[in-house]
Chain A
Amino acid sequence: MDVIISSIGGLFLLLGGIIAIIGGIGVLRFPDFYTRMHAAGVGDTLVTGLILVGLILQMPEWLVVIKLIIILFMTLFINPTSSHALTKTAFQNGLLPVLHKKEEANKGDAGPSTR
Protein backbone atom coordinates (compact mmCIF):
# COMPACT_ATOMS: atom_id res chain seq x y z
CA MET A 1 0.00 0.00 0.00
CA ASP A 2 2.77 2.40 1.00
CA VAL A 3 4.64 1.60 -2.14
CA ILE A 4 1.64 2.40 -4.29
CA ILE A 5 1.00 5.69 -2.54
CA SER A 6 4.58 6.83 -2.75
CA SER A 7 4.87 5.84 -6.38
CA ILE A 8 1.72 7.81 -7.13
CA GLY A 9 3.40 10.66 -5.30
CA GLY A 10 6.44 10.19 -7.51
CA LEU A 11 4.23 10.36 -10.55
CA PHE A 12 2.79 13.63 -9.35
CA LEU A 13 6.24 15.04 -8.84
CA LEU A 14 7.34 13.99 -12.28
CA LEU A 15 4.25 15.45 -13.87
CA GLY A 16 4.80 18.64 -11.93
CA GLY A 17 8.37 18.85 -13.16
CA ILE A 18 7.35 18.34 -16.76
CA ILE A 19 4.61 20.92 -16.61
CA ALA A 20 6.96 23.33 -14.90
CA ILE A 21 9.39 23.04 -17.78
CA ILE A 22 6.61 23.46 -20.31
CA GLY A 23 5.46 26.55 -18.46
CA GLY A 24 8.98 27.90 -18.38
CA ILE A 25 9.38 27.45 -22.10
CA GLY A 26 6.05 29.11 -22.58
CA VAL A 27 7.12 32.11 -20.59
CA LEU A 28 10.21 32.37 -22.68
CA ARG A 29 8.68 31.82 -26.09
CA PHE A 30 5.25 33.42 -26.10
CA PRO A 31 5.00 36.67 -28.01
CA ASP A 32 3.52 39.13 -25.56
CA PHE A 33 2.93 39.83 -21.95
CA TYR A 34 -0.58 38.44 -21.65
CA THR A 35 0.19 35.11 -23.18
CA ARG A 36 3.25 34.83 -21.01
CA MET A 37 1.11 35.70 -18.06
CA HIS A 38 -1.15 32.86 -19.01
CA ALA A 39 1.70 30.40 -19.16
CA ALA A 40 3.16 31.57 -15.92
CA GLY A 41 -0.04 31.99 -13.94
CA VAL A 42 -1.73 28.77 -14.91
CA GLY A 43 1.49 26.81 -14.98
CA ASP A 44 2.67 27.99 -11.60
CA THR A 45 -0.50 27.19 -9.79
CA LEU A 46 -0.84 23.77 -11.33
CA VAL A 47 2.79 22.86 -10.75
CA THR A 48 2.70 23.99 -7.17
CA GLY A 49 -0.40 21.94 -6.55
CA LEU A 50 1.02 18.85 -8.20
CA ILE A 51 4.37 18.94 -6.49
CA LEU A 52 3.02 19.68 -3.07
CA VAL A 53 0.44 16.92 -3.36
CA GLY A 54 3.21 14.64 -4.53
CA LEU A 55 5.24 15.50 -1.46
CA ILE A 56 2.27 14.96 0.81
CA LEU A 57 1.79 11.50 -0.66
CA GLN A 58 5.47 10.77 -0.12
CA MET A 59 5.26 11.59 3.44
CA PRO A 60 5.29 10.68 6.92
CA GLU A 61 4.77 12.87 9.92
CA TRP A 62 1.56 14.72 10.39
CA LEU A 63 3.26 18.01 11.27
CA VAL A 64 5.04 18.03 7.93
CA VAL A 65 1.82 17.24 6.12
CA ILE A 66 0.06 20.09 7.87
CA LYS A 67 2.78 22.48 6.93
CA LEU A 68 2.64 21.32 3.33
CA ILE A 69 -1.09 21.82 3.27
CA ILE A 70 -0.67 25.31 4.65
CA ILE A 71 1.85 26.12 1.95
CA LEU A 72 -0.48 24.65 -0.63
CA PHE A 73 -3.34 26.84 0.48
CA MET A 74 -1.16 29.86 0.67
CA THR A 75 0.09 29.47 -2.85
CA LEU A 76 -3.40 28.76 -4.06
CA PHE A 77 -4.43 32.11 -2.64
CA ILE A 78 -1.38 34.09 -3.42
CA ASN A 79 -0.57 33.03 -6.95
CA PRO A 80 -3.83 33.88 -8.66
CA THR A 81 -4.09 37.06 -6.64
CA SER A 82 -0.75 38.37 -7.68
CA SER A 83 -1.33 37.32 -11.28
CA HIS A 84 -4.61 39.17 -11.18
CA ALA A 85 -3.10 42.30 -9.71
CA LEU A 86 -0.26 42.25 -12.16
CA THR A 87 -2.39 41.80 -15.23
CA LYS A 88 -4.86 44.38 -14.12
CA THR A 89 -2.24 47.02 -13.55
CA ALA A 90 -0.58 46.20 -16.83
CA PHE A 91 -3.85 46.59 -18.68
CA GLN A 92 -4.79 49.77 -16.92
CA ASN A 93 -1.48 51.28 -17.75
CA GLY A 94 -2.00 50.84 -21.41
CA LEU A 95 -0.10 47.72 -22.24
CA LEU A 96 -2.00 46.03 -25.03
CA PRO A 97 -1.95 42.44 -26.19
CA VAL A 98 -0.54 41.59 -29.58
CA LEU A 99 -3.17 40.41 -31.99
CA HIS A 100 -1.60 40.39 -35.39
CA LYS A 101 1.86 39.88 -36.60
CA LYS A 102 2.80 42.07 -39.46
CA GLU A 103 6.45 41.49 -39.91
CA GLU A 104 8.79 39.11 -38.29
CA ALA A 105 11.54 41.70 -38.47
CA ASN A 106 10.03 44.03 -35.90
CA LYS A 107 9.48 41.33 -33.37
CA GLY A 108 12.21 42.63 -31.11
CA ASP A 109 10.46 45.63 -29.69
CA ALA A 110 7.30 44.31 -28.23
CA GLY A 111 5.25 47.19 -27.29
CA PRO A 112 5.32 50.56 -25.68
CA SER A 113 7.68 49.83 -22.88
CA THR A 114 6.24 51.01 -19.65
CA ARG A 115 6.88 54.47 -18.43
Chain B
Amino acid sequence: MLAHLPVLQVIVPLLAAPSCLIIKRPVLVWMFTLMVSGAAFLISIALLQQVLASGTISYEMGGWAPPWGIEYRIDELNAILLLIISAISTVVLLAAQTSITAEISEDRHTIFYALYLLSLAGMLGIVSTGDAFNVFVFLEISSLSAYAMIAMGQGRRALWASYQYLIMGTIGATFILISIGLMYQMTGTLNMADLADRLPQVANTKTVLVAFAFFIVGVCLKLALFPLHMWLPNAYSYAPSIVTAFFAATSTKVALYLLIRFTFSVFGYSFSFTTLPLQELFLGLGLLGIFIASAAAIYQTNLKHLFAYSSVAQIGYMIVGFSVGTSAGLMATLLHVFNHALIKGALFLALGAVMYRVNSVQLNDFKGLARQMPLTMAAIVVGGLSLIGVPLTVGFVSKWYLVMAVLDNGWWPVAVLILLGSLLAIVYVWKIVEVAYFIDPEPGTPQVSEAPMALLVPVWLLVAGNIYFGIDTRLGVQMAQSAAQSLFGGSP
Protein backbone atom coordinates (compact mmCIF):
# COMPACT_ATOMS: atom_id res chain seq x y z
CA MET B 1 0.00 0.00 0.00
CA LEU B 2 2.97 2.30 0.55
CA ALA B 3 3.44 2.74 -3.14
CA HIS B 4 -0.05 4.11 -3.45
CA LEU B 5 0.37 6.84 -0.87
CA PRO B 6 0.44 9.76 -3.33
CA VAL B 7 -2.93 8.90 -4.78
CA LEU B 8 -4.43 7.86 -1.48
CA GLN B 9 -3.61 11.30 -0.16
CA VAL B 10 -6.11 12.78 -2.57
CA ILE B 11 -8.72 10.14 -3.11
CA VAL B 12 -9.34 9.37 0.53
CA PRO B 13 -10.98 12.74 1.17
CA LEU B 14 -12.40 12.78 -2.34
CA LEU B 15 -14.23 9.50 -1.91
CA ALA B 16 -15.18 10.32 1.64
CA ALA B 17 -17.24 13.29 0.45
CA PRO B 18 -20.01 11.25 -1.19
CA SER B 19 -19.88 8.85 1.73
CA CYS B 20 -20.97 11.70 3.99
CA LEU B 21 -24.32 11.67 2.23
CA ILE B 22 -24.78 8.05 3.16
CA ILE B 23 -23.97 8.57 6.83
CA LYS B 24 -26.30 11.55 7.22
CA ARG B 25 -26.28 12.00 11.03
CA PRO B 26 -24.43 15.30 11.57
CA VAL B 27 -22.40 14.23 14.58
CA LEU B 28 -21.32 11.00 12.93
CA VAL B 29 -20.45 12.87 9.77
CA TRP B 30 -18.28 15.22 11.75
CA MET B 31 -16.43 12.35 13.38
CA PHE B 32 -16.04 10.68 10.03
CA THR B 33 -14.70 13.88 8.46
CA LEU B 34 -12.26 14.32 11.29
CA MET B 35 -11.07 10.76 10.87
CA VAL B 36 -10.59 11.20 7.15
CA SER B 37 -8.69 14.42 7.62
CA GLY B 38 -6.56 12.76 10.27
CA ALA B 39 -5.84 9.92 7.88
CA ALA B 40 -4.80 12.44 5.24
CA PHE B 41 -2.51 14.01 7.81
CA LEU B 42 -0.88 10.67 8.61
CA ILE B 43 -0.46 9.94 4.92
CA SER B 44 1.19 13.29 4.37
CA ILE B 45 3.66 12.59 7.18
CA ALA B 46 4.49 9.24 5.67
CA LEU B 47 4.91 10.88 2.28
CA LEU B 48 7.24 13.50 3.65
CA GLN B 49 9.38 10.82 5.21
CA GLN B 50 9.45 8.87 1.99
CA VAL B 51 10.44 11.92 0.02
CA LEU B 52 13.17 12.87 2.44
CA ALA B 53 14.46 9.32 2.42
CA SER B 54 14.30 8.45 -1.24
CA GLY B 55 13.77 11.61 -3.26
CA THR B 56 10.99 12.49 -5.64
CA ILE B 57 8.10 10.05 -5.91
CA SER B 58 6.26 9.61 -9.17
CA TYR B 59 2.93 7.84 -9.47
CA GLU B 60 1.30 6.96 -12.76
CA MET B 61 -2.48 7.16 -12.85
CA GLY B 62 -4.12 4.32 -14.69
CA GLY B 63 -0.74 2.75 -15.31
CA TRP B 64 -0.05 5.02 -18.27
CA ALA B 65 3.42 6.46 -18.38
CA PRO B 66 3.64 10.24 -18.52
CA PRO B 67 3.22 12.31 -20.63
CA TRP B 68 0.37 10.17 -21.96
CA GLY B 69 -1.25 9.56 -18.65
CA ILE B 70 -1.54 11.77 -15.62
CA GLU B 71 1.33 11.70 -13.23
CA TYR B 72 1.51 12.51 -9.54
CA ARG B 73 4.84 13.87 -8.58
CA ILE B 74 5.80 14.51 -4.99
CA ASP B 75 9.00 16.28 -4.09
CA GLU B 76 9.98 18.21 -0.97
CA LEU B 77 7.96 21.28 -1.86
CA ASN B 78 4.72 19.36 -2.41
CA ALA B 79 5.27 17.20 0.61
CA ILE B 80 5.62 20.21 2.89
CA LEU B 81 2.49 21.83 1.51
CA LEU B 82 0.55 18.60 1.79
CA LEU B 83 1.60 18.41 5.40
CA ILE B 84 0.58 22.01 6.12
CA ILE B 85 -2.81 21.66 4.47
CA SER B 86 -3.81 18.39 6.03
CA ALA B 87 -2.50 19.38 9.46
CA ILE B 88 -4.37 22.68 9.54
CA SER B 89 -7.48 21.00 8.23
CA THR B 90 -7.39 18.40 10.97
CA VAL B 91 -6.90 20.93 13.75
CA VAL B 92 -9.60 23.18 12.38
CA LEU B 93 -11.98 20.27 12.12
CA LEU B 94 -11.51 19.55 15.81
CA ALA B 95 -13.24 22.83 16.47
CA ALA B 96 -15.73 22.48 13.66
CA GLN B 97 -18.62 20.75 15.35
CA THR B 98 -19.02 23.32 18.11
CA SER B 99 -18.52 26.33 15.95
CA ILE B 100 -20.68 25.13 13.10
CA THR B 101 -23.60 24.31 15.33
CA ALA B 102 -23.77 27.96 16.24
CA GLU B 103 -23.47 29.28 12.73
CA ILE B 104 -25.17 26.89 10.32
CA SER B 105 -28.55 25.27 10.64
CA GLU B 106 -28.60 21.62 11.53
CA ASP B 107 -29.95 20.25 8.25
CA ARG B 108 -27.03 21.61 6.24
CA HIS B 109 -24.28 20.08 8.34
CA THR B 110 -23.89 16.99 6.22
CA ILE B 111 -23.58 19.03 3.07
CA PHE B 112 -21.15 21.35 4.77
CA TYR B 113 -18.80 18.56 5.75
CA ALA B 114 -19.00 16.99 2.31
CA LEU B 115 -18.06 20.33 0.78
CA TYR B 116 -15.28 20.75 3.29
CA LEU B 117 -13.82 17.41 2.34
CA LEU B 118 -14.09 18.23 -1.35
CA SER B 119 -12.30 21.46 -0.81
CA LEU B 120 -9.57 19.73 1.14
CA ALA B 121 -9.22 17.10 -1.56
CA GLY B 122 -9.12 19.79 -4.22
CA MET B 123 -6.23 21.56 -2.55
CA LEU B 124 -4.33 18.36 -1.94
CA GLY B 125 -4.93 17.45 -5.58
CA ILE B 126 -3.56 20.74 -6.88
CA VAL B 127 -0.46 20.33 -4.83
CA SER B 128 0.33 16.75 -5.63
CA THR B 129 -0.42 16.58 -9.32
CA GLY B 130 2.24 16.76 -11.98
CA ASP B 131 -0.11 17.54 -14.83
CA ALA B 132 -0.99 21.07 -15.86
CA PHE B 133 -4.59 20.40 -16.82
CA ASN B 134 -5.23 18.32 -13.75
CA VAL B 135 -4.30 21.41 -11.78
CA PHE B 136 -7.18 23.26 -13.39
CA VAL B 137 -9.68 20.51 -12.59
CA PHE B 138 -8.74 20.31 -8.94
CA LEU B 139 -8.54 24.06 -8.70
CA GLU B 140 -12.17 24.15 -9.71
CA ILE B 141 -13.16 21.47 -7.20
CA SER B 142 -11.63 23.43 -4.38
CA SER B 143 -12.95 26.79 -5.54
CA LEU B 144 -16.49 25.62 -6.23
CA SER B 145 -16.75 24.13 -2.79
CA ALA B 146 -15.21 27.31 -1.41
CA TYR B 147 -17.88 29.47 -3.05
CA ALA B 148 -20.61 27.29 -1.64
CA MET B 149 -19.14 27.22 1.84
CA ILE B 150 -18.59 30.96 1.96
CA ALA B 151 -22.17 31.52 0.91
CA MET B 152 -23.29 29.43 3.88
CA GLY B 153 -22.13 32.17 6.22
CA GLN B 154 -24.56 34.24 8.21
CA GLY B 155 -26.23 37.24 6.71
CA ARG B 156 -26.75 38.35 3.19
CA ARG B 157 -23.29 39.78 2.78
CA ALA B 158 -21.88 36.30 2.68
CA LEU B 159 -23.83 35.75 -0.53
CA TRP B 160 -22.53 38.87 -2.15
CA ALA B 161 -18.96 38.14 -1.07
CA SER B 162 -19.26 34.65 -2.44
CA TYR B 163 -20.60 35.92 -5.74
CA GLN B 164 -17.73 38.36 -6.13
CA TYR B 165 -15.30 35.62 -5.32
CA LEU B 166 -16.99 33.39 -7.88
CA ILE B 167 -16.61 35.93 -10.65
CA MET B 168 -13.01 36.74 -9.82
CA GLY B 169 -12.09 33.13 -9.22
CA THR B 170 -13.61 32.00 -12.49
CA ILE B 171 -11.83 34.70 -14.43
CA GLY B 172 -8.61 33.61 -12.78
CA ALA B 173 -9.24 29.96 -13.58
CA THR B 174 -10.10 30.79 -17.18
CA PHE B 175 -6.88 32.75 -17.54
CA ILE B 176 -4.99 29.74 -16.28
CA LEU B 177 -6.90 27.62 -18.76
CA ILE B 178 -5.90 29.92 -21.62
CA SER B 179 -2.33 29.76 -20.51
CA ILE B 180 -2.35 25.97 -20.36
CA GLY B 181 -3.82 25.94 -23.86
CA LEU B 182 -1.07 28.15 -25.20
CA MET B 183 1.58 26.01 -23.58
CA TYR B 184 0.01 22.91 -25.00
CA GLN B 185 -0.10 24.46 -28.41
CA MET B 186 3.58 25.20 -28.40
CA THR B 187 4.83 21.98 -26.85
CA GLY B 188 2.16 19.35 -27.35
CA THR B 189 2.30 18.15 -23.78
CA LEU B 190 0.57 18.78 -20.49
CA ASN B 191 2.89 17.03 -18.12
CA MET B 192 4.87 19.48 -16.02
CA ALA B 193 8.19 17.68 -16.20
CA ASP B 194 7.76 17.21 -19.92
CA LEU B 195 6.80 20.86 -20.32
CA ALA B 196 9.95 21.85 -18.50
CA ASP B 197 11.93 19.79 -20.99
CA ARG B 198 10.27 21.17 -24.06
CA LEU B 199 9.59 24.79 -23.19
CA PRO B 200 13.20 26.01 -23.46
CA GLN B 201 13.20 25.12 -27.17
CA VAL B 202 10.36 27.51 -27.82
CA ALA B 203 11.10 29.91 -25.00
CA ASN B 204 11.74 32.88 -27.22
CA THR B 205 8.38 32.77 -28.98
CA LYS B 206 5.80 35.38 -28.17
CA THR B 207 3.22 32.70 -27.51
CA VAL B 208 5.09 31.27 -24.57
CA LEU B 209 5.62 34.73 -23.21
CA VAL B 210 1.91 35.40 -23.34
CA ALA B 211 1.19 32.03 -21.78
CA PHE B 212 3.45 32.94 -18.91
CA ALA B 213 1.84 36.34 -18.47
CA PHE B 214 -1.65 34.85 -18.40
CA PHE B 215 -0.62 32.23 -15.92
CA ILE B 216 0.84 34.83 -13.60
CA VAL B 217 -2.27 37.00 -13.77
CA GLY B 218 -4.56 34.03 -13.23
CA VAL B 219 -2.64 32.77 -10.25
CA CYS B 220 -2.34 36.23 -8.77
CA LEU B 221 -6.11 36.53 -8.88
CA LYS B 222 -6.38 33.36 -6.86
CA LEU B 223 -3.52 34.45 -4.66
CA ALA B 224 -5.11 37.83 -3.93
CA LEU B 225 -1.89 39.64 -4.67
CA PHE B 226 -2.26 43.31 -3.93
CA PRO B 227 -4.15 44.95 -6.80
CA LEU B 228 -6.23 41.83 -7.35
CA HIS B 229 -7.15 41.23 -3.72
CA MET B 230 -10.59 42.81 -3.76
CA TRP B 231 -12.48 39.59 -3.22
CA LEU B 232 -10.53 38.36 -0.27
CA PRO B 233 -11.51 40.55 2.72
CA ASN B 234 -15.23 40.15 2.16
CA ALA B 235 -15.01 36.48 1.43
CA TYR B 236 -13.04 35.83 4.60
CA SER B 237 -15.14 38.08 6.76
CA TYR B 238 -18.57 36.72 6.06
CA ALA B 239 -17.81 33.04 5.71
CA PRO B 240 -18.46 30.72 8.64
CA SER B 241 -15.55 30.98 11.09
CA ILE B 242 -14.33 27.48 10.45
CA VAL B 243 -14.16 28.09 6.75
CA THR B 244 -12.29 31.33 7.27
CA ALA B 245 -9.75 29.64 9.49
CA PHE B 246 -9.22 26.86 7.00
CA PHE B 247 -8.97 29.05 3.91
CA ALA B 248 -6.91 31.79 5.45
CA ALA B 249 -4.40 29.19 6.45
CA THR B 250 -4.35 27.19 3.24
CA SER B 251 -5.97 28.42 0.06
CA THR B 252 -3.71 31.34 -0.80
CA LYS B 253 -0.77 29.10 0.01
CA VAL B 254 -1.90 26.70 -2.64
CA ALA B 255 -1.98 29.51 -5.18
CA LEU B 256 1.49 30.54 -4.08
CA TYR B 257 2.60 26.99 -4.54
CA LEU B 258 1.34 27.08 -8.12
CA LEU B 259 3.23 30.28 -8.73
CA ILE B 260 6.46 28.83 -7.40
CA ARG B 261 5.98 25.54 -9.17
CA PHE B 262 5.37 27.06 -12.57
CA THR B 263 7.93 29.82 -12.44
CA PHE B 264 10.70 27.63 -11.11
CA SER B 265 9.98 24.13 -12.30
CA VAL B 266 8.00 24.51 -15.48
CA PHE B 267 9.17 27.72 -17.10
CA GLY B 268 12.51 27.53 -15.41
CA TYR B 269 14.37 30.08 -13.37
CA SER B 270 16.26 31.67 -16.22
CA PHE B 271 13.14 32.24 -18.30
CA SER B 272 11.02 33.54 -15.46
CA PHE B 273 13.51 35.98 -14.08
CA THR B 274 15.25 37.25 -17.17
CA THR B 275 12.76 37.65 -20.00
CA LEU B 276 10.14 39.58 -18.08
CA PRO B 277 10.59 42.37 -15.55
CA LEU B 278 8.98 39.98 -13.13
CA GLN B 279 11.34 40.58 -10.28
CA GLU B 280 10.82 44.33 -10.14
CA LEU B 281 7.10 43.94 -10.70
CA PHE B 282 6.60 41.47 -7.89
CA LEU B 283 8.86 43.36 -5.57
CA GLY B 284 6.94 46.57 -6.14
CA LEU B 285 3.53 44.90 -5.84
CA GLY B 286 4.60 42.98 -2.77
CA LEU B 287 5.80 46.09 -0.96
CA LEU B 288 2.79 48.11 -2.02
CA GLY B 289 0.59 45.27 -0.85
CA ILE B 290 2.26 45.22 2.55
CA PHE B 291 1.73 48.92 3.10
CA ILE B 292 -1.67 49.50 1.64
CA ALA B 293 -3.22 46.38 3.11
CA SER B 294 -1.70 47.02 6.53
CA ALA B 295 -2.92 50.58 6.44
CA ALA B 296 -6.37 49.37 5.44
CA ALA B 297 -6.27 46.88 8.29
CA ILE B 298 -5.72 49.67 10.80
CA TYR B 299 -9.00 51.30 9.85
CA GLN B 300 -11.15 48.19 10.09
CA THR B 301 -13.61 47.78 12.90
CA ASN B 302 -14.58 44.25 12.03
CA LEU B 303 -11.84 41.99 13.32
CA LYS B 304 -12.29 39.41 10.60
CA HIS B 305 -11.89 42.18 8.07
CA LEU B 306 -8.84 43.37 9.91
CA PHE B 307 -7.11 40.04 9.84
CA ALA B 308 -8.17 39.46 6.24
CA TYR B 309 -6.39 42.64 5.21
CA SER B 310 -3.43 41.56 7.24
CA SER B 311 -3.48 38.34 5.23
CA VAL B 312 -3.16 40.38 2.06
CA ALA B 313 -0.19 42.13 3.63
CA GLN B 314 1.40 38.84 4.60
CA ILE B 315 1.02 37.64 1.04
CA GLY B 316 3.01 40.73 0.17
CA TYR B 317 5.86 39.48 2.36
CA MET B 318 5.79 36.11 0.68
CA ILE B 319 5.88 37.71 -2.74
CA VAL B 320 8.82 39.89 -1.74
CA GLY B 321 10.70 36.80 -0.67
CA PHE B 322 9.77 35.14 -3.93
CA SER B 323 10.90 38.10 -6.00
CA VAL B 324 14.35 38.10 -4.46
CA GLY B 325 14.92 35.16 -6.72
CA THR B 326 17.56 33.45 -4.66
CA SER B 327 17.46 30.22 -2.79
CA ALA B 328 17.49 32.12 0.50
CA GLY B 329 14.56 34.29 -0.53
CA LEU B 330 12.55 31.31 -1.61
CA MET B 331 13.32 29.59 1.64
CA ALA B 332 12.07 32.61 3.55
CA THR B 333 8.88 32.53 1.50
CA LEU B 334 8.29 28.87 2.18
CA LEU B 335 8.98 29.36 5.83
CA HIS B 336 6.51 32.20 5.89
CA VAL B 337 3.92 30.04 4.15
CA PHE B 338 4.26 27.50 6.91
CA ASN B 339 4.29 30.07 9.68
CA HIS B 340 1.51 32.19 8.33
CA ALA B 341 -0.68 29.10 8.12
CA LEU B 342 -0.07 28.55 11.84
CA ILE B 343 -0.64 32.20 12.75
CA LYS B 344 -3.78 32.80 10.75
CA GLY B 345 -5.22 29.42 11.61
CA ALA B 346 -4.87 30.26 15.29
CA LEU B 347 -6.17 33.81 14.95
CA PHE B 348 -9.25 33.00 12.92
CA LEU B 349 -10.10 30.03 15.10
CA ALA B 350 -9.85 32.25 18.14
CA LEU B 351 -12.16 34.71 16.42
CA GLY B 352 -14.46 31.77 15.81
CA ALA B 353 -14.49 31.17 19.55
CA VAL B 354 -15.38 34.82 20.16
CA MET B 355 -18.05 34.55 17.53
CA TYR B 356 -19.43 31.51 19.33
CA ARG B 357 -19.85 33.37 22.60
CA VAL B 358 -20.39 37.00 21.65
CA ASN B 359 -21.88 36.42 18.20
CA SER B 360 -20.02 39.39 16.79
CA VAL B 361 -16.48 40.28 15.86
CA GLN B 362 -16.93 44.04 15.85
CA LEU B 363 -14.21 45.83 17.73
CA ASN B 364 -16.77 47.53 19.96
CA ASP B 365 -17.94 44.24 21.30
CA PHE B 366 -14.46 43.35 22.44
CA LYS B 367 -14.48 45.81 25.28
CA GLY B 368 -13.29 44.11 28.42
CA LEU B 369 -13.41 40.75 26.78
CA ALA B 370 -10.00 39.87 28.18
CA ARG B 371 -11.49 39.37 31.61
CA GLN B 372 -14.35 37.25 30.38
CA MET B 373 -12.52 35.06 27.90
CA PRO B 374 -8.91 35.24 29.10
CA LEU B 375 -7.65 32.16 27.27
CA THR B 376 -9.12 33.11 23.93
CA MET B 377 -7.85 36.64 24.14
CA ALA B 378 -4.43 35.41 25.17
CA ALA B 379 -4.39 33.27 22.06
CA ILE B 380 -5.25 36.29 19.93
CA VAL B 381 -2.47 38.26 21.58
CA VAL B 382 0.12 35.58 20.97
CA GLY B 383 -1.05 35.28 17.37
CA GLY B 384 -0.84 39.03 17.00
CA LEU B 385 2.68 39.11 18.39
CA SER B 386 3.63 36.42 15.98
CA LEU B 387 2.10 38.45 13.17
CA ILE B 388 4.24 41.41 14.13
CA GLY B 389 7.31 39.24 14.31
CA VAL B 390 8.29 39.37 17.96
CA PRO B 391 11.19 37.07 18.81
CA LEU B 392 10.36 33.61 20.12
CA THR B 393 7.37 33.35 17.78
CA VAL B 394 7.29 31.89 14.31
CA GLY B 395 6.63 35.26 12.76
CA PHE B 396 10.05 36.37 13.87
CA VAL B 397 11.81 33.43 12.29
CA SER B 398 10.44 33.93 8.83
CA LYS B 399 10.86 37.69 8.87
CA TRP B 400 14.41 37.26 10.03
CA TYR B 401 15.20 34.99 7.12
CA LEU B 402 13.36 37.29 4.75
CA VAL B 403 15.36 40.31 5.82
CA MET B 404 18.57 38.31 5.63
CA ALA B 405 17.74 37.18 2.10
CA VAL B 406 16.97 40.73 1.03
CA LEU B 407 20.16 42.04 2.59
CA ASP B 408 22.14 39.31 0.86
CA ASN B 409 21.07 40.87 -2.37
CA GLY B 410 22.12 44.25 -1.09
CA TRP B 411 18.59 45.65 -1.19
CA TRP B 412 18.77 47.40 2.14
CA PRO B 413 15.93 49.87 1.35
CA VAL B 414 13.65 46.92 0.91
CA ALA B 415 14.70 45.53 4.25
CA VAL B 416 13.91 48.85 5.90
CA LEU B 417 10.51 48.87 4.23
CA ILE B 418 9.78 45.37 5.49
CA LEU B 419 10.55 46.45 9.03
CA LEU B 420 8.38 49.52 8.61
CA GLY B 421 5.58 47.24 7.47
CA SER B 422 5.90 45.36 10.73
CA LEU B 423 5.42 48.63 12.58
CA LEU B 424 2.04 48.97 10.93
CA ALA B 425 1.21 45.49 12.17
CA ILE B 426 2.00 46.66 15.70
CA VAL B 427 -0.57 49.41 15.32
CA TYR B 428 -3.44 47.17 14.39
CA VAL B 429 -2.63 44.47 16.88
CA TRP B 430 -2.34 47.07 19.62
CA LYS B 431 -5.77 48.36 18.73
CA ILE B 432 -7.27 45.02 19.65
CA VAL B 433 -5.23 44.62 22.80
CA GLU B 434 -6.19 48.08 23.96
CA VAL B 435 -9.87 47.49 23.50
CA ALA B 436 -9.89 44.02 24.99
CA TYR B 437 -7.69 44.65 27.99
CA PHE B 438 -7.92 48.29 28.93
CA ILE B 439 -11.42 49.42 28.19
CA ASP B 440 -14.22 48.43 30.48
CA PRO B 441 -17.28 46.90 28.94
CA GLU B 442 -20.18 49.21 28.55
CA PRO B 443 -22.67 48.67 31.32
CA GLY B 444 -25.53 46.49 30.30
CA THR B 445 -23.64 44.20 27.96
CA PRO B 446 -24.33 40.61 28.87
CA GLN B 447 -21.64 38.62 30.60
CA VAL B 448 -20.07 35.88 28.54
CA SER B 449 -18.03 32.97 29.73
CA GLU B 450 -14.88 31.38 28.35
CA ALA B 451 -15.20 29.47 25.09
CA PRO B 452 -15.88 25.74 25.38
CA MET B 453 -12.99 23.30 25.49
CA ALA B 454 -13.75 21.94 22.05
CA LEU B 455 -12.78 25.33 20.63
CA LEU B 456 -9.99 26.19 23.03
CA VAL B 457 -8.01 23.02 22.49
CA PRO B 458 -7.49 23.47 18.74
CA VAL B 459 -6.80 27.17 19.18
CA TRP B 460 -4.11 26.50 21.73
CA LEU B 461 -2.71 23.64 19.69
CA LEU B 462 -2.01 26.13 16.92
CA VAL B 463 -0.73 28.74 19.34
CA ALA B 464 1.58 26.17 20.86
CA GLY B 465 2.77 25.43 17.35
CA ASN B 466 3.44 29.13 16.93
CA ILE B 467 5.64 29.24 19.97
CA TYR B 468 7.27 25.87 19.54
CA PHE B 469 8.40 26.49 16.01
CA GLY B 470 9.43 29.97 17.05
CA ILE B 471 11.86 28.57 19.59
CA ASP B 472 12.93 25.37 17.95
CA THR B 473 13.46 26.58 14.41
CA ARG B 474 15.36 23.58 13.13
CA LEU B 475 12.55 21.51 11.67
CA GLY B 476 10.84 24.24 9.68
CA VAL B 477 14.05 25.79 8.45
CA GLN B 478 15.46 22.46 7.41
CA MET B 479 12.43 21.51 5.40
CA ALA B 480 12.13 24.89 3.73
CA GLN B 481 15.82 24.88 2.94
CA SER B 482 15.85 21.49 1.30
CA ALA B 483 12.74 22.35 -0.71
CA ALA B 484 14.20 25.64 -1.88
CA GLN B 485 17.45 24.01 -2.81
CA SER B 486 15.75 21.25 -4.71
CA LEU B 487 13.87 23.87 -6.72
CA PHE B 488 17.11 25.57 -7.57
CA GLY B 489 18.72 22.23 -8.25
CA GLY B 490 16.99 22.40 -11.58
CA SER B 491 15.04 19.17 -11.64
CA PRO B 492 11.31 19.84 -11.24
Direct contact of A and B (CB under 8 A): no
Chain A residues near B (Cβ < 8 Å): none
Chain B residues near A (Cβ < 8 Å): none
